[in-house]
Structure 1
């Protein structure tokens, strides 16, 4: 089909929307009517020659009481779909009044095969029929699609050309409603680039046969379509017979319907069966293709979209058992679960989990993400773990920075991740960064936020840079480890002064928390809370039930509203737990007894104080759980930088050697030489990022960068984690040259002149009204 005929058909169908649907639907709803009608008209035209054969087969099967009829009916129709209604669209063209037409049209829709019913259901097309019928517009709509000026039958337009027309209609509707376009429409220039990045590196290794292509956020199927066209074109150029099996998953019902309809319109019934979607088919929570492997994968997943609902359905972060997102790596279980506020990187993980590891070509992936996929997530968190898993497995070939404002609904920076599990030898162990952000053609008219495009020259330039794999101003090559780092936790010793003061001891009365609430209740109920709880339990329960009533005061409206809500159940339950009051009372009694024994002397060495407390407890025959003793010591101690470090453990010399890196120091305790380990001070705890490529590793870094400035610091090796991040800005930053003094002076003089002129104007203004 030539371009003129193509444009004529698209314009004609586009015009139907304005002619028939104006004033009935808002413009954003036009595709909900036009697209399914376009699908129905094409299918009707395709099925028309075999209509009687289908009806005859249906009658025969019914007479024979055969219930499973789909294969036979599809065979009679000669297509992957069929219609068993006695009507065709032409039969409906002149049906009686609009009520009769509506009934007959619904009968016609009900006759379609299940795969078409799935499309109609997800289009929600039947929801539009009452509005069309009530306005007597259904007949007009049908007649428009049967207009002899356009021939949508196979004789007038083949499957490929019809698919092209359908895609063009989808594109035009999306552009016309551009605030939603980017949700399910990726610009074709970006898709062509991604397809080339996937196929060109293995162009010479392709053989005749069937290759499986997959998109886990397939939208309207545009990426799969372009990828298929690109692969077949490469095969034709090399004289190969290449076929494609297309697989996709899409959660949005309307875009899923468009994708599946497009496949059926093109005559790709088998591929249509491999498009799975609808509201219940989230790629993350409901994998439609578990265990399936694919040769080539492309996708543009949603950015910054919450997947909290999916996470809950999968058992939550702690209960996650999906093998896609919990993997064994380097002998440890690695969680790839990201923040619930943004699940974009999980789509990349899903694809990586479906790589073909047995074929000669392996698998290749191109997926576009925003910048957060490069750096969000701390070491040990999901996003960082994903980058670690992909890079340490040596699957990441390249990251390509695209121009800003390339997509319809966002102007943010975007990046293409290019992955392969069959890296060529010269790429092994390395990642290429390509800054293609300045390679684009401006558009004459913006399409939503899209104000530029990748022209053929730009795509060719990016692909050439990728294939050449050389260092240039726009291409940087790094070893995998260059993006990794150890996140080390640096500790410093806890230093305390201690004193058994009455004020400090009194705070133990409310050690179980909610100090203000417990203090108020203590003032009301007194010591009975601690030593005779049963006597006040009922009154306390009633008091808590009424807590926050208006008689408690509260001047502003917000306070009054808060009080009417009462206490949270969890907090109320804890305040009614006799054991918490009993324990706190016991802490006060023990601390008071210690004060009576040791006095209220200020101890500048907490180690001495702690030993005296231990001795006093033993002497008094008091056995105290370690947790309760810790509460007492904490209540009566405070941090002082000049105090001696608090000793956590004493090691015998020889068995344990002093090593500042591990927090082990030579010391003298009770007159004996030993090796001590100090308690860490959480307030002084810090972290450092140590590059994986650091010469000498963590120890060399700490001895050079930390110990000269904090001699008592050490590294908590148990808390060390590995992280990965990619910084395009750092690698491609080009500093702007500083202005000369002459330029700065000229600017200052110009500003002064302008200010003088403004001042003169104000002074010359006549103040007389």
Structure 2
């Protein structure tokens, strides 16, 4: 019998394996910054060399050390000490970590658009093993971005690492990363073709990246979009700037990393599209006497101190342009909270801002296994005509209706225990939503039991202003449509994985006792 051919590892997997070798001296929460900063330097170098060769070929060799000739083509200028070749030449030197710090500092100095994006005096303070760091540099050298004119390879590596880091850091971590499949769904539903796009808690910038990919997929022009964001955590703020720089996406993330509620970096912004994944059920987000007269709550009650969910909603509402669309995620509890939350929710509905409520499946996030809600808000829900990518689209008056969608039985498994939507599913969900919105599709949209229902404000008022979809969507038989064989296979796979990890932990514990001289037997 012929030997089974081993699957060749992708560059992403190879890089991940190399990064894992840094374990021990560096925590996973740290080595994402180690690896991604180096990937950024390699990307910048490949683009620099490509542009340098163009200048030489055009007879402009005298200008190859002038930054303006690089910046004009959206390429970062690199001083000699910032070039990847220089780092590789010195990779085995004892001071390689210091040289990497110097390279990053010089890149930022030579390119003002990168201000605040790169780590400062970072590598030399980590105490990294020189041999392992040299090995990582060698692996990253194998990434050839010159063959990839659209920079999809480097972007793919970046996305892969952000996802893997989020998984590795586990529950309570990974807030900087929203799974791409969810961002794709939001983009397809709110359709950010042209205008200002804003994310008040932008993490690593994934919402912006997928918005640009949406525009590319629909043959739009990326220059028609302006990007505005804000991020609280300084290291994540830097990740976002690097991520967007790799894609060539110009952005305004504010002057610094800052709390959106207490130090709003975009006070006067009115955005055409808002995409966000705020922290779920954020406690103690303001003191009792803080922000009580904030203009963002104008026309509504002040959001309660016990939970920031409605603070995020009203921040988003305050930034929404007259014809803007917003898609954002919240924990399901925001659908039915009472007291102040009920009063705010009632007013949002009476102001005709709530367009759709979409319940997502469990296990879509790396940081939590709960099911969450996608809210779609719209500044204008009257009958109107909108130009989208060169085409005129007519919208029906939906001011007195809300579309409820339940996707808890949708999705497909990946990474053993997580769920994602396929491209076909995202297209189907978005098409159903747009059929509900638009004129000329009256015969195409229909309420479907266990999937979707268009409820009137009268119906919602009768249900106590609750936005829980199951109060409106008809459920004939909750067991229908569930593939029990698939579910059982998934459960068996998860159980086998748990048993394997338990066995590994037991062996590690026994080995530890043996090393300590106790000599326990299995």
Bucket of the pairwise TM-score, normalised by the shorter protein: 0.7 to 0.9
Q: Residues 225-240 of structure 1 correspond to what in structure 2 (within 5 A)?
A: 225-236=209-220
Q: Residues 155-304 of structure 1 correspond to what in structure 2 (within 5 A)?
A: 155=147, 158-180=150-172, 182-199=174-191, 210-236=194-220, 243-268=224-249, 270-271=250-251, 274-276=252-254, 280-304=257-281
The question of whether the paired residues in 1 share the 8 Å contact of 2:199 and 2:207 is answered with yes
Partner of 2:101: 106
1:482, distance to aligned residue in structure 2 (A): 3.9
For 1:406 and 1:216, the matched residues in 2 are separated by 21
For 1:319 and 1:354, the matched residues in 2 are separated by 17
Partner of 1:30: 31
For 2:149 and 2:398, the matched residues in 1 are separated by 48
| TM-score after normalising by structure 2 | 0.73
* Cα distance change, pair 107–732 in 1 and its aligned pair in 2 (3 A): closer
Select the residue among 472, 477, 496 that pairs with 2:448: 472
Structure 1: any 5+ residue segments left out of the alignment? 1-5, 60-71, 329-333, 485-690, 694-722, 738-769
For 1:46 and 1:338, the matched residues in 2 are separated by 48
Is residue 372 of structure 2 the alignment partner of residue 394 of structure 1?
Answer: no
Counterpart secondary structure, 1:363: strand
The question of whether the paired residues in 1 share the 8 Å contact of 2:92 and 2:130 is answered with no
For 2:222 and 2:132, the matched residues in 1 are separated by 48
Q: Residues 450-465 of structure 1 correspond to what in structure 2 (within 5 A)?
A: 450=418, 452-465=419-432
For 1:156 and 1:25, the matched residues in 2 are separated by 31
For 1:249 and 1:164, the matched residues in 2 are separated by 23
RMSD (Å) for aligned C-alpha atoms: 3.6
The question of whether the paired residues in 2 share the 8 Å contact of 1:14 and 1:169 is answered with yes
Partner deviation per Cα, 1:320-348 (whole Å, 9 max, x = no partner): 232112x13xxxxx32x322232122222
Structure 1 or 2, whichever has the larger Rg, is 1
For 1:296 and 1:31, the matched residues in 2 are separated by 30
Partner of 2:315: 350
* Cα distance change, pair 18–97 in 1 and its aligned pair in 2 (3 A): closer
| TM-score after normalising by structure 1 | 0.51
For 2:328 and 2:434, the matched residues in 1 are separated by 18
Partner of 1:376: 337
For 2:174 and 2:408, the matched residues in 1 are separated by 22
Partner deviation per Cα, 1:579-626 (whole Å, 9 max, x = no partner): xxxxxxxxxxxxxxxxxxxxxxxxxxxxxxxxxxxxxxxxxxxxxxxx
- Of 219-228 and 93-102, the range deviating more from structure 2: 93-102
* Cα distance change, pair 412–41 in 1 and its aligned pair in 2 (3 A): same
Partner of 1:324: 296
The question of whether the paired residues in 1 share the 8 Å contact of 2:118 and 2:242 is answered with no
Select the residue among 303, 319, 322 that pairs with 1:338: 303
Structure 2: any 5+ residue segments left out of the alignment? 1-7, 56-61, 384-395, 437-445, 479-522
Counterpart secondary structure, 1:472: coil
For 1:182 and 1:107, the matched residues in 2 are separated by 29
Counterpart secondary structure, 2:240: helix
For 1:444 and 1:267, the matched residues in 2 are separated by 30
The question of whether the paired residues in 2 share the 8 Å contact of 1:465 and 1:475 is answered with no
Partner of 2:43: 42
> Which structure dedicates a bigger proportion of its chain to helix?
1
Select the residue among 8, 11, 16 that pairs with 2:10: 8
1:293, distance to aligned residue in structure 2 (A): 1.5
Counterpart secondary structure, 1:476: strand
* Cα distance change, pair 58–726 in 1 and its aligned pair in 2 (3 A): same
For 1:130 and 1:429, the matched residues in 2 are separated by 57
* Cα distance change, pair 318–51 in 1 and its aligned pair in 2 (3 A): same
For 1:403 and 1:156, the matched residues in 2 are separated by 35
The question of whether the paired residues in 1 share the 8 Å contact of 2:357 and 2:373 is answered with yes
1:460, distance to aligned residue in structure 2 (A): 3.5
Counterpart secondary structure, 1:118: coil
The question of whether the paired residues in 2 share the 8 Å contact of 1:390 and 1:396 is answered with yes
The question of whether the paired residues in 2 share the 8 Å contact of 1:92 and 1:101 is answered with yes
The question of whether the paired residues in 1 share the 8 Å contact of 2:91 and 2:137 is answered with no
Select the residue among 143, 150, 157 that pairs with 1:150: 143
Counterpart secondary structure, 1:462: helix
For 2:426 and 2:100, the matched residues in 1 are separated by 48
Partner of 2:386: none
For 2:222 and 2:28, the matched residues in 1 are separated by 44
For 1:115 and 1:188, the matched residues in 2 are separated by 26
For 1:389 and 1:194, the matched residues in 2 are separated by 24
Is residue 115 of structure 2 the alignment partner of residue 91 of structure 1?
Answer: no
